[in-house]
């Protein structure tokens, strides 16, 4: 048998269910990899090794009992995972990536952790996030930055950056993330993974500090479409069958990855709702990734054509108002506010100064933006964009900070919050409008800057589908060889 971390998540699931591996063996293997590699990678904030070993032993006991009774095992029996440190896990502190919060153990599991524990997973700990999940990079003041396994000088993206780094480095077989403006798709693209953002309402919402525009949804990060589909099946409440028109009733998302999708009309677009506020130029490698994606899709039999999408230029201000509203109401003791990063502190102050009427106006605009954008997208089955406009950025690039070691001391963070935010919007200009529209989308790692898989840095494409198309998106990703 291959090394445990070299198995796909589907293969590991099968080995655990067949008894070829015990949950304790799998847990100990991944914990050993975390111990060896996390000091250089910064993927984890908290490792809960003792509890994980107890939970794995309990899973093995359950398997022994059910082997005698013939009772079915949970769908993800014994599978190691970790949760982004915005998600409550009972008995473990939820830091939200912030030095301004006291570290108190969560009293109960959040919705996502509860759903996956019920599916049989063993939690190994909490992964690195930016403060309150606000940024497209996973750096904060409480732990070393999350680094890209393909180049440790580069960021793993955000806000699910620790989870993406852990999966890409083989510290986990797959991981759940949450996505409010690209926070699954951005780190997936940076780390060479498949990252799926489901449509609004399909799975329990990813945790955030407030979400008036209903932007945030939980989704899987994985090394393949099949692995992502396996995790998505467990994330959907009640293991619901795939809704029409994604696939035949009763088919799981994993089942669909073994089937060819129908021939699709795919619109190619470089248009972004950020381009008026923050004019940007796509890196050649982003355009190369797009060209590679087009070539793969056409070779698979799909029809592609240019899609000129018109976006309302009021989007940037409205999205920013809605995106940062929650941080204004976060419960932070006044004497600890100085411990916030400059970006968080700046957007918190602005949110607190903003009137409720202004927030309501912005949310209302975003709902109209959703209707207008979806109406344009309906001319095609899927919309294709680059996943990112730039190659994965160096650690510290967004904050323009200097650092004297693994940590980012408070005194060394730059204070240009607006410059930081602008860089993020230019880095990932095709992500957030998908959250506003509530649509599903997937990031697929079709290109490497060195010319071959695993060579250089990964670059991806994004496919955006209509509501209910999660099954179709994982089908297409699998068809393209991922």
The residues annotated as belonging to the active site are 84, 159, 183
Cβ pair 408, 401 in contact under 8 A: yes
List the structure tokens of 153: 């000088």
Q: Which residues contact 141 (CB under 8 A, 6 or more apart)?
A: 98, 99, 131, 339, 341, 407, 408, 409, 410, 413
Residue indicated by tokens 């699910």: 160
């Amino acid at each position: 048998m291959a090394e445990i971390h070299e198995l796909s998540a589907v293969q590991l699931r099968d080995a655990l269910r067949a008894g070829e591996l015990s949950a304790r063996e799998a847990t100990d293997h991944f914990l050993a990899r975390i111990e060896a590699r996390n000091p250089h990678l910064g993927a984890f904030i908290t490792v809960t090794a003792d509890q994980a070993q107890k939970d794995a032993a309990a899973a093995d006991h359950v398997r022994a009992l059910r082997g005698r009774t013939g009772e079915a095992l949970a769908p993800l029996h014994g599978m190691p995972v970790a949760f982004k440190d915005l998600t409550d896990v009972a008995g473990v502190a939820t830091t939200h990536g912030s030095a301004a919060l006291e570290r108190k153990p969560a009293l109960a599991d959040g919705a996502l952790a509860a759903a996956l524990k019920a599916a049989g997973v063993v939690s190994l700990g909490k992964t690195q996030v930016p403060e309150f999940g606000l940024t497209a990079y996973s750096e904060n003041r409480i732990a070393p930055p999350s680094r890209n396994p393909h180049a440790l000088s580069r960021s793993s993206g955000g806000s699910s950056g620790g989870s993406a780094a852990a999966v890409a480095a083989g510290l986990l077989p797959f991981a759940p993330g949450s996505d409010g403006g690209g926070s699954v798709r951005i780190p997936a693209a940076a780390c060479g993974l498949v990252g799926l953002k489901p449509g609004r309402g399909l799975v329990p919402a990813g945790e955030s500090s407030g979400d008036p525009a209903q932007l945030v949804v939980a989704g899987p990060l994985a090394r393949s479409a099949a692995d992502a589909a396996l995790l998505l099946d467990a994330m959907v409440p009640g293991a619901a069958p795939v809704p029409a028109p994604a696939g035949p009733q009763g088919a799981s998302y994993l089942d669909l990855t073994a089937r060819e999708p129908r021939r699709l009309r795919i619109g190619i677009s470089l248009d972004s709702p950020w381009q008026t506020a923050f004019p940007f130029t796509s890196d050649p490698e982003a355009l190369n990734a797009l060209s590679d994606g087009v070539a793969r899709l056409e070779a698979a039999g799909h029809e592609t054509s240019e899609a000129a999408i018109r976006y309302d230029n009021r989007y940037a201000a409205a999205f920013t108002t809605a995106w940062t509203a929650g941080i204004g109401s976060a419960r932070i003791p006044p004497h600890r506010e100085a411990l916030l990063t400059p970006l968080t502190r700046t957007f918190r102050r602005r949110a607190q100064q903003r009137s409720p009427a202004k927030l309501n106006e912005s949310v209302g605009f975003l709902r109209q933006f959703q209707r207008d954008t979806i109406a344009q997208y309906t001319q095609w089955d899927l919309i294709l964009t680059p996943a990112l406009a730039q190659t994965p950025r160096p650690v510290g690039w967004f904050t323009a900070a200097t650092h004297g070691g693994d940590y980012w001391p408070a005194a060394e963070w730059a204070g240009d919050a607006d410059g930081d935010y602008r860089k993020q919007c230019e880095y990932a200009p095709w992500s957030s409008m998908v959250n506003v529209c509530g649509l599903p989308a997937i990031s697929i790692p079709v290109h490497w800057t060195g010319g071959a898989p695993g060579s250089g840095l990964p670059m991806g494409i994004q496919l955006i589908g209509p509501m209910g198309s999660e099954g179709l998106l994982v089908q297409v990703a699998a068809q393209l060889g991922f």
